[in-house]
Amino acid sequence: MKKTVFLGALTAAGLAAGAAGATTLEDVKARGTLNCGVSTGLVGFSAPDANGEWTGFDVALCRAVAAAVLGDQTAVEFVPTTGKTRFTALASGEIDMLARNTTWTFSRDVDLKFTFNGVNYYDGQGFMVPKALGVSSAKELDGATVCIQTGTTTELNLADFFRVNNMGYEPVPIETNAEAQQQFLAGACDVYTTDASGLAATRATFENPGDYAILPEIISKEPLGPLVRHGDDEWGDIVTWTLNALIAAEELGITSANVKDMSSAATDNPEINRLLGSEGNLGEMIGLNADWAVMAISAGGNYGEIFEKNIGENTPIGLARGLNALYTDGGLLYTPPFR
Amino acid sequence: MTTLTDPPAESFKLSMLVYDTRYRSITFQIVALVAFLTLVGWLANNTIQNLADLGKEPSFAFMTDPAGYDINQRLIEYSSQSTHLRAAFVGLLNTLLVAVLGCATATVVGVIVGVLRLSGNWLIARLMTVYVEMFRNVPVLMWIVLAMAILIETLPAPSAFRGDDPAATMKVFDSVAFTNRGVYIPEPLFSRGLGDISVFGAFGISLDLIAILLVLGVSIFISKRIGKKADATQEATGIRPRTWHLRTAVIILPTALLLLLLGFHFGYPALKGFNFQGGTHLRNSLIALWLALSLYTAAFIAENVRAGILAVSSGQTEAAAALGLRPKRIMSLVVLPQAMRVIIPPLISQYLNLTKNSSLAIAVGYMDITGTLMGITLNQTGRELETVLLGMLIYLLISLSISAVMNWYNNRVKLVER
Amino acid sequence: MSNTHADTVLYVRDTMLPQSEPPASTIGPAGWAKQNLFSGWLNTLLTVVSAAFVVFLLYRLLPWFISPTWGSDSLSSCRALFEEIGRDHEGACWGVIRDRWQQLLFGFYPAELYWRPILSLILLMVALAPVLFVGKVPAKMLIFSVIYPFMLPWLLWGGTVWMPIAVIAGFGVGYLVFKLVAKVGPGGLAAIVATLATVLWWLFLTAPVAYGLASVLPLALEPVASRQFGGFMLSVTIGVVAIACSLPIGIVLALGRRSDLPLVKWLCVGFIEFIRGVPLITLLFVASVLLNIFLPPGTNFDIILRVMIMTTLFASAYMAEVIRGGLAALPKGQYEGADSLGLDYWQAQRLIIMPQALKISIPGIVSTFIGVFKDTTLVSIIGLLDPLGLANAIRADTDWNGIYWELFLFIGAVFFIFCFSMSRYSMYLERKLQTGHR
């Protein structure tokens, strides 16, 4: 008899599912919330705080997209995903976009049939060692025990690196960053390898960060970015251009503080006007309100603000902009024009 | 219900399919079959359509592609250039290894604890109760994670062994090193070994091991024959010839000779570079999983053992005491053999549980079949359907074989009743 | 004759000696200790060794345990505190529990709505009371036990009150249809039609009726998405739903396995053995990555519902075996008695067999529940935020990065309290049932 409740729930869920099937944008608007896949917990990138509010660098991107589409940065359902479940969750439509420091690779784009919407963090795989080990280069790591997070591209990069350099190693696969940190600090592995940003973030929380060094070698390119399913280009465009808007905003000097003023009255920079919707009809073209970019930028600020707030040098994580500076500052961030 | 007397010769009516007991069972079964087939067809149809939508085609071709990742504990040859199939096989062997080790340890610990729980010593009995309740009432996943954490935090890192005045030293005549990367123990080596024999060209089995097992088997067989002969002499003449020295010699000498011929010696672990080299490395992921699984399961087995012992009527104990047996012998000769019959059926399901729980290995990074096939391979290839179904099939086969073997054993020891 | 004694014996005591005290070594604490702790050298050795072990453990753990860090709000402030008071050894940093205990218990459930899960738990106890404490609670309470399963989802997920009512109405519809059809046709047909009508009602009419009524008379609780479930609340919800739903499925499977119809029997055996032969984690993988592929295109349950489906299937296989045990334990006379009364199969099951078999099975059902409850920790592996998953998420917060033992201790303690009390109850019940049968 108790089964019936279950059937009732199934029915309700089935009916809810019946409404699906239109484009992702329509789905999101009809639902009133954006389902955004994030990591189950990665320092600085996504973690729930004591009130259950998600914060972090990846989380901020989800909020910006929600603000652009729905006009409300809190209209996001954060779906924690693991390395294993993230792609299935996206492919099955459980989430509308994935912002889980995911590396843009050929096979993920082509074979797994996802569309990457640009890069929100340029990363590379690095190594961290205790200074006491006396190692100054990754080439000296022959025979070392290496902690790696499973389910990521780092595993394959590591195998390639050691094979190419004809060195042996002992991999210690680990599910989460927290466990890796514990093993590394206790000396159960000599080396911890993951994306350099993750290494820096992890090291920042150590009791004595100065006792550990990040080796100079970066053995891979890890462009991390948001992604959506193949086949819904309108939705892909929205995510792509929301990210671009955040970057362009930094370039154009639009911040969360002045975005309201700048959008209320047309400025003398036509690109700012087009971006903020006071000139042209970019919002209409992308299927959103004219103030979509204003909303996205006021959600968490421009790219630079988001970076500084979550992972920048004034946070415990203390990452430098490096490759993630604007191209004008010697970085790689270069957005196509808003025209 | 089957009291139809002299059924009238009537023509077949449709309602008889439901009301006539002769037809009803067939009707029901056909309905059940149709319902089942419809369900299966529906699921299959959905799957095919969904996969077509995703642009994926079910295929196991990826299993022969290079895996690309390394596995630390491999019982057979494996490198990152080996295939996914081989990686899955490495994982399967790791699953079986920890399952066998775990079952053996859990049985031993479980029996000891079960007996001690009934001990007259108040402190021991209470301690054992605390142990059993603690392990039974906290999830096994937590125990696995905790065991790993304890190993990592309490044992010294290999670097502690370095230097003139090291913080840690090797134990047991400098032959065993306990580190937080695992335990390094001496490994048997053969300086004049016979090499490996390749099976199906896929993996090698040490010929030395085969030779030793073969010689040992023959020795034991001969020793048994000597024992039987002694029995016969005893029955015929009433005097039992002394054979123990002969039997010991038959078992030990040929094996010892063979070991000598093969140049048997131990390879000791030694600190070289980052790690200990040489010796056998029992990784702490294996030890943590092994410890946690066997202690957790042992708590359940202890309860079964206790129940089994309590099920033996006290008359048996009293009768044995009246015969003048001492308490320890009463336990081992009278009570335990009878309790066995009650213990074995639940023991089978505990073995099954342990094997299935070994799939939690990924929590500590032990590369079992869940970690390789349903873990990294799934992640790197994106073939969820194939890998998960194959993994389930493998677990099902393992479970069915364990139950088959244990049921066979159970039928052998079962009390044959009238 | 009477003098013989007097002649041969010099002295005869003609009064009883007063009872003397037992030797000092056999009474009191000393006697107890001698008997229970130091009887024989082996026992003495065991006692000393285990006492030393306990003392050693306490000596090592207590200093860590006693730590004045309840008020601290991050790991670094804990460390600063230790520095301040000059402690040379690390202690526990209990601030994390103060900061996050609500999250560990309720996940992301809105704080102002905590009363709903708490009320559900209390009502669960009330609903279970007539089943668990037979004879001590008025039997009329059973009505509440029947209604409760419909109230639980409403309380937890919220939404309009008409939804559960519309679902219950399905039974009324089924009953009415049964009565109507039974007037004109055979009972078997009526049962089939009634079942069909009920299912159709649920599939197509429940939602419109409920929403229709809701628009007329809006009585609703604030809806809470299942994504906001987490922590122990998630574990308990998954466990309770799985056990409640698996009970009817388990009964059907158990009857099927004991059925005379070979095909039905083999289908049931196949299902039960398949589920019992694979680890729960693989079923959870199915829930997380495959279930959407098996269902019609476009169907999209959220992950928690999918996990509940797979856990229910998992629990029902074990439940079937527990109930089969209960059925097998019934004396054959009960079946024969039912037959001799002229009851048909379903009547016999409903009136004679099941009430007794289920009663015998209750301890087994409780231990299945404990098992499923403990196994819900596995959902952390597929990324759900159960207590263990939340512990990981909490450690990803910059404040608490590096914290470990405190969280595990807390989670372990809560699990222990839950499971231990349930297993004690099940033992009590087992004893009660045993005496009842002797």
Residue C83 covered by a domain: no
**Calpha distance A38→A63 (Å, rounded):** 12
- State the best of C226, C303, C398 to mutate against chain A, taking most chain A CBs within 10 Å: C398
- The predicted pLDDT at position C284 comes to 93
Q: Is residue C401 part of a domain?
A: yes
At residue A287, φ and ψ (nearest 5 deg) are 85, 20
Identity of residue B122: W
For chain A, the farthest-separated pair of C-alpha atoms sits apart, in whole angstroms, at: 70
Contacts of A233 (CB under 8 A, 6+ apart): A115
Give the domain range for residue C295.
Answer: 98-158+226-437
Counting every residue, how long is chain B? 418
Chain C interface includes A71 (CB < 8 A): no
The β-bridge relationship of strands B187-190 and B264-267 is antiparallel
- Dihedral sign for Cα A85, A90, A96, A100, please: positive
Dist CA A20 CA A27 (whole Å): 6
Mean pLDDT of A249-262: 90
Give the dihedral sign, CA A311/A314/A320/A324. Answer: positive
Q: How far is Cα of residue C276 from the mean position of the Cα atoms in its chain?
A: 19
Kindly state whether A93 is in contact with chain C, defined as any CB-CB distance less than 8 angstroms: yes
Considering chain C, what percentage of its residues have pLDDT values greater than 70?
95
Tally C-beta pairs within 8 A across A and C: 165
Q: Is the dihedral angle over the CA atoms A104, A108, A110, A114 positive or is it negative?
A: negative
Q: Which of C196, C221, C246 is the last residue of a domain?
A: C221
Instruction: Mark whether C149 and C193 lie in a shared domain.
Output: no
Residues of C in contact with A81 (CB under 8 A): 383
Q: For residues A45 and C173, give the distance between their C-alpha atoms in angstroms, rounded to a whole number.
A: 53
Query: Are B388 and C280 a contacting pair at CB < 8 A?
Result: no
Binding partners of A (≥3 Cβ pairs within 8 A): B, C
Same domain for C262 and C135 = yes
Write down the domain spans for chain A: 3-122+223-329, 125-220
Q: Per-residue DSSP letters for B372-410? A: IIIIIIHHHH--HHHHHHHHHHHHHHHHHHHHHHHHHHH
**Could you tell me how far CA B105 lies from the centroid of its own chain?**
10
Helices (H) and strands (E) in chain C, counts: 20, 2
For residue range C88-112, list pLDDT tens digits in order.
667 888 888 888 888 899 988 888 8
- pLDDT above 70 (res C185): no
pLDDT at C435: 55
Specify whether C200 is located in the same domain as C317: no
B132 or C397, higher pLDDT? B132
**Confidence category of residue C2, pLDDT binned at 50, 70, 90:** low
pLDDT at A18 over 70: no
Question: Is B136 in contact with C423 (Cβ distance < 8 A)?
Answer: yes
Does the residue C28 lie in any domain?
no
Q: How far is B319 from chain C (nearest CA, A)?
A: 23
| pLDDT per residue as tens digits for the range C145-169 | 888 888 888 888 888 888 888 888 8
The residues that bridge with A121 in the sheet, in sequence order, are A224
Residues C182 and C262 in one domain: no
CATH of domain A3-122+223-329: 3.40.190.10
Residue C3 — very low, low, confident or very high, per pLDDT cuts 50/70/90? low
C255 vs A69: CA distance, rounded Å = 54
C106 plus C152 within the same structural domain: yes
Q: How many CA atoms lie within 13 A of B235 on its CB side?
A: 5
Q: What is the pLDDT of residue B19?
A: 67
Q: Which chains touch B (3 or more CB pairs under 8 A)?
A: A, C
**Closest C-alpha to B219, from B263, B253, B244:** B253
Under 8 Å between Cβ of A170 and B72: yes
Q: Are A145 and B274 in contact (CB under 8 A)?
A: yes
CA distance A187 to chain C (A): 15
- Dist CA C238 CA C321 (whole Å): 20
Strand stretches in A241-293, DSSP E:
none
**DSSP for residue B67:** -
Number of domains present in the structure of chain C: 2
SS3 of chain C: helix, strand, coil, percent, to 5: 75, 0, 20
CB–CB contacts below 8 A, B to C: 156
Whether residue C271 sits in one domain with residue C186: no
Residues C376 and C421 in one domain: yes
Q: Does B320 touch chain C (CB under 8 A)?
A: no
Instruction: Evaluate if residue A243 carries a pLDDT over 90.
Output: yes
In angstroms, the CA A78 to CA A36 distance is: 5
- Global confidence as pTM: 0.85
Q: How far apart are CA A89 and CA C384, in angstroms?
A: 13
Q: What is the CATH number of the domain that holds C309?
A: 1.10.3720.10
CATH number attached to the domain at A125-220: 3.40.190.10
Q: What is the pLDDT of residue A12?
A: 44
Are C189 and C127 contained in the same domain?
no
CB contact under 8 A, B399 and C276: yes
Please report the ipTM that was assigned to this predicted complex.
0.85
Give CA–CA dist B378/A318, Å, rounded: 34
- Of residues A88, A150, A158, nearest to B375 (C-beta): A150
**Contacts with A190 from chain B: Cβ below 8 Å:** 274
Do C303 and C338 belong together in one domain? yes
Give, in order, the Cα–Cα distances in Å from C121 to each of C111, C114, C233: 16, 11, 10
Judge: A8–C206 Cβ closer than 8 Å, yes or no: yes
Residue C132 lies in a domain: yes
Q: Which residues pair with A212 in a beta bridge?
A: A130
Token pair of C179, please?
Answer: 């009565």
**Last residue of one domain, picked from the residues C203, C221, C239:** C221
Beta bridge partners, B189, equal B265
- When scoring C184, C263, C344, C422 by the number of chain B Cβ atoms within 10 A, the one with the most, hence best to mutate, is C263
Alpha-carbon torsion, ordered B364, B368, B373, B375, to 10 deg: -10
Judged by CB atoms closer than 8 Å, whether chains meet at A170 and B371 is answered as no
CB A336 within 8 A of CB A273: no
Q: Which residues of A295-325 are buried (b: 16+ CB within 10 A; e: fewer)?
A: bbbbbbbbbbbbbebbbbeebbbebebebbb
User: What are the CA-CA distances from residue A245 to residues A35, A65, A255, A312, B370 (Å)?
Assistant: 21, 10, 11, 20, 42
Helices (H) and strands (E) in chain A, counts: 14, 13
SS3 for B178? strand
Interface test with C, best of A28, A40, A175 (most C CBs within 10 A): A40
Residue C102 lies in a domain: yes
The reply to whether C23 falls in a domain is: no
| Confidence (pLDDT) at B103 | 94
Looking at C199, C221, C243, which one is the last position of a domain?
Answer: C221
DSSP B158: G
Please give the Cα distance from A154 to A123 (Å, whole number): 12
Contact indicator for C315, C248 with CB cutoff of 8 Å: no
Specify whether C258 is located in the same domain as C239.
yes
Structural domain includes residue C172? yes
Query: What region does B352 belong to: left with phi over 0, alpha with psi -120 to 50, or beta?
Result: alpha
CA of C409 vs chain B CAs: smallest distance (Å): 10
Output b/e per residue, C39-49; b: 16+ Cβ within 10 A.
eeeebeebbee
Q: How many residues does chain C have?
A: 438
pLDDT in tens, C341-355: 988 888 888 888 888
Can you read off the two tokens belonging to residue C23? 């030797």
Q: Which H/E stretch holds residue A12? A: helix A3-18
Mind listing the pLDDT tens digit for each residue in A85-140? 888 888 888 899 999 888 998 888 888 889 999 999 999 999 999 998 888 899 99
Mean pLDDT across chain C, nearest whole number? Answer: 84
pLDDT reported for residue B280: 87
How many whole angstroms separate alpha carbon A66 and alpha carbon C269? Answer: 50
Write out residues in chain B with pLDDT < 70, as ranges.
1-12, 14-19, 200-203, 414-418
Q: Which H or E run includes B245?
A: helix B244-262
Contact C227, C304 (CB under 8 A): yes
Out of B173-187, C173-187, C250-264, least confident range:
C173-187
Q: Is residue C26 part of a domain?
A: no
C138, C107: one domain = yes
Spatial separation of the C-alpha atoms in residues B397 and C172, rounded to whole Å = 46
Token pair 């998992």 in the structure block, residue: C314
